[in-house]
Structure 1
Amino acid sequence: MTNYCYLDVELKLRDQNKAVLTPAYFLGSIEESLQSFFGEIGGQTDLEIIKFDANRQRAILRVQEEFLSRTRAAITLIGHFQEIPCHFIVKETSKPN
């Protein structure tokens, strides 16, 4: 049985008016960071958006417990979203079941 963790992630943009914020772009930014920092193995991390709120620029992500540290690191290292300076904040992480 696979244990999953949930992350509450918020995006802070320098200029919010220029960004197109969709679940696909949000998730794609994180997946790109995973692949950039962890190579092919990082790109194979099973990551899913459970809930997305464009107005609050937040998402609840589900990731396998074994990939939690890698995913948190990749999220922290993102510096641009659609070429706009930004940072992602992991507000909260669930405990695995």
Structure 2
Amino acid sequence: MSGYQYLDVKLKLRDPDSVTLTPVFLCGCILNSLTNIFGEIGGQTTLEIVKFSSTDKRFIFRVSEDFLKRVRIAISLIGYYQEVPCHFQVLSTSQKPLDFEATPEEFIAF
């Protein structure tokens, strides 16, 4: 079994007031993108939101290392969240758990 990577991600929306931002909807959006791009993903997906801020539109999630490339590709290709134009920005990636208050320089992936 491989280790995990943590991603600090910010969601940028064209009209932020017109969406409902929840961890469940975010996971669904990412999983839907994975399925659309790579087909059936089955049980190999380990995607877990560990921190969430609806105010800052940021979330930190954990993904298995062997699945990291697919998740980053899927995130970068998402253009809509609940039918509102958007894009996801990966702020940092780390093998160690991330926190919103920490500086991104501390978490450079090896």
The corresponding residue for 1:41 is 41
Q: In 2, Cα distance between the equivalents of 1:43 and 1:75?
A: 19
Q: In 2, Cα distance between the equivalents of 1:69 and 1:84?
A: 25
The corresponding residue for 1:72 is 72
The normalised TM-score by structure 1 is 0.92
Tell me if the contact between 1:35 and 1:43 (Cα under 8 Å) persists in the aligned partners: no
* Shift of residue 24, structure 1, vs aligned partner: 0.5
Q: Which runs of 4+ in 1 moved over 6 A?
A: none
Quote the RMSD (CA, aligned, Å).
1.6
Tell me the alpha carbon deviations over residues 11-38 of structure 1, each in whole angstroms, 9 at most, x when there is no partner. 0000001000011111111111011101
- Identify the structure with bigger relative contact order (alpha carbons < 8 Å, sequence gap 6+): 1
Could you tell me the percent identity over the aligned residues?
56
The corresponding residue for 1:92 is 92
Q: Which runs of 5+ in 2 are unaligned?
A: 97-110
Q: In 1, Cα distance between the equivalents of 2:16 and 2:43?
A: 27
Task: Report the AA paired with residue 12 of structure 1.
Answer: K
Total equivalences in the alignment: 96
Task: Report the AA paired with residue 34 of structure 1.
Answer: L
The structure with the largest alpha-carbon Rg is 2
